[in-house]
Amino acid sequence: MGTVSSIEEKAIRATLDRAADALRDKDLDALSLCYFSDVEIFDIGSHSTGFRQLRKLLKSCFPYFPEPIEIQRRNLRIICSDGVAVVTSLTRMDRMKTDHPSGRAWTRTTTCLKKVNNEWKIFHEHASMPVDCAQDRIDYLFDPD
């Protein structure tokens, strides 16, 4: 596994921060600049191929997002080599307006980025929650520490 230089780490984090800011602002045009047009997204309960599908999914979800939404990350880890980076973290969309446990739970997130023309963009993202197979239900992660 490649180690990531501080310069590349800052650039990768900047892309993730721009994406989080755009999501917070519900600015899909700004968000699209952080993704490749053919991005593959495996979100909890959905799958999107291409940013066009992701845009449609997010538009349908925005009514359930609070103002403003905050993206929180913990245990962020970046591995980078030859212009490709893999970022793993626990992620939560804070201030969800729901009493459902999924609005308070952390997801396991893997984000894959590629550097093209000196710019890092997301080409794959996967979010998941642990499952209690014996009980056939989601095992919500409320406190990752």
What are the per-10-residue average pLDDT scores of the chain (145 residues)? Answer: 79 97 93 97 86 92 77 92 95 64 74 97 88 67 64
pLDDT recorded at residue 11: 97
Positive/negative CA dihedral, 16, 61, 28, 127: positive
pLDDT recorded at residue 106: 81
Instruction: Number of helices (H) and strands (E) in the chain: give both, helices first.
Output: 3, 8
pLDDT recorded at residue 34: 98
* DSSP classification of residue 69: -
Architecture of domain 6-138: Roll (3.10)
3-state class (DSSP) for residue 74: strand
pTM: 0.84
Closest CA relative to residue 23, chosen from 77, 78, 61: 61
pLDDT recorded at residue 56: 93
* DSSP classification of residue 144: -
pLDDT recorded at residue 78: 96
Sketch the domain layout of the chain as residue ranges.
6-138
Instruction: Report the alpha-carbon distance of residue 48 to residue 44 in Å, rounded.
Output: 11
